[in-house]
Chains A and B, each alone.
Chain A
Amino acid sequence: MTARAESFRTRNSVPFLRQAAAIAAKDLRIEIRGRHALGTLLPFAATLLVSFGFAFGPGRDVLERTAPGLLWMAMLFAAVMAARRSYQAETEDDALEGLLLAPVDKAAVFLGKAIAVALELLVLVIAVLLMVVVLFDLSPGNPFALLGAFALGTVGLAAVGGLFGVVAEAERTREAVFPMLVLPLVTPVLIAGVRATDLATTGQAGEAAQWLGLLLAFDIVFVSVGILVFGHLMED
């Protein structure tokens, strides 16, 4: 534990957070150039929501009531795809080895990638919210509570996805292993996110506080644990 703490400071001249920021910036630059979030995730989310509409509709009542759930289901799938994409970019050019050899704190790689994925998801969730408001008659509700839920939720999803994204690129990984791993773990984000969104959009924003607290606790736990264990996933 002390060795780890030491490495944060003394590993190299660049401080830990700045390393993470650099990695996040790199990932975001790749993202902006490749337009994955806009080009792939957004249409995917739209398709998913329309499909939900067909599956649970056409009665507007059911759709309005399940709208927060559908929003977060779309975000869960998008998070899996975004996290996978984040690591795909590395393995495509064998850049992962470069990352391993670079004098970079492994935990900073995790934090940087998680930050990048979180920002992508945050942009995406705004768009998804607009789609849900339009398609399912969801009233926008309290913006602060909503933003809180989205910010905290996307961080949680990004932390878990960013942590295990390496597994998605393993040698014989069958397609389903990565989502199979991530989805059960982010259950608290799903439950709390949906509850908070539901309360925020039905005029009960005050009661959303406990769910936002749960999201915050989840984020703190997973970011901390991720920083601690990520190095073990990256060695080879």
Chain B
Amino acid sequence: MSTSRSISTVSRFFANYGMLGVLALLCLYYSWATLKLQPRLGADAASALARELVNAPEPPSGVLIVAKDHADDIQFADRLAAELQAADIAVVEKIHGEPPAVRKALERLVAAGNLVDCIATTEDYRSIISNISKRMPRLTNSQITAAESYWWPTFLLAENLLNVANQIVVIAIIAVGMTMVIIAGGIDLSVGSLVALSAVVTGTLIVAAGGLEAPPVAMFFCSLAAIATCAAVGTFSGIMITVFRIPPFIATLAMMQVASGLAYTISRGGSIYQLPASFTWLGRESSLLGIPNTVVLMLLIYALAHLIMSRTRLGRYIYAVGGNRQAARLSGIRTNWVVLVTFVISGTMAGLGGVIEASVLKSGGPTYGLMYELYVIAAVVVGGTSLAGGEGKILGTLIGAFIIAVIRNGMNLTEVENYTQKIVLGLVILGAVLLDMLRKRTWRGLVTED
């Protein structure tokens, strides 16, 4: 008996979160497609190169270390110098700088009569040093080495995975609100414009609160005010839809135009720049184990939303209203309130998205959020939520958002043309939804046959 119960639990898990399989497949495919030689960086490159030089059949007598002067390269030079000196190989000099400075330093060394038979550098600088040395006859016999590169998919590089997460954060957060709206039987087309409105309002208020001198407290309240503005717009849309019975598609389409126009009017068509550098804390810093703040925020919101939808009355009411509005009303649920709440949440999430965009770009502009509603709805739908309402999972939306992010990132890494990307993305969304619909029917068929 317990085996069939666990089988049915597993089946239910796959029926509900099967898109996880699609995500896994995509990650595998792009890992394979972006496999290439990656240059080693920083301390890692230094250790590998030191090992190579020390264990060479004829270790060099003196090594010249050349690198740029940013954090990674300084680390590389210091580590390499330390390891070489520990192995009794002389370090002639450490040169840090841009190519013109490097060239001058090399000319100085050569003029002073120093023998430079081995130049150790980074993979990036290898060909540049080679160019420079070709123009200097005394250096033509020097050996120029860098640490050997290693095979690894570009897709799976830590920085790339972080990019993927960062790129999807705003869409994913807005998708939380959109999921609730769609499950309750509506749709919200105004979210993209609300992102712009929120970014512009945040920027304008911060400038009014002191601009570059604005204190963090002021920035926090300005952001809250911008989010509240968008929540107010969401409330307005909700009232139009529930009290005046305007179809959600039309009401939010109209608000999309109004919000966008407001954003352009407030900002007078230009971006708002005088924002303090500390404002980027939300959008660009990482405080927890190197995970970006925006990603932490996104995960918290999803956890909260999942709890609301699966464990609270509001959640159950949302599903009921979307599934069968009449039955829900007759059971005593105040359907208008439920629908209104979903639009308020959607507006709030869009407002939060706008604040994050402004934080990332350190400016607020009326062109932000352009076409976002398309990507948000795509994420919701790919995640398994039905546009007819009544069913869908919040965590499914998160998976849907990641699928879209992975595809966009993967296409960028495999250098697919801009315009081809649009075609591919559209067709993939279609295919993913078809796949999901068919899969649900097939799995249910299997489970009920038990």
Do A and B associate with each other?
no
B residues contacting A by CB (< 8 A) are none
A residues contacting B by CB (< 8 A) are none
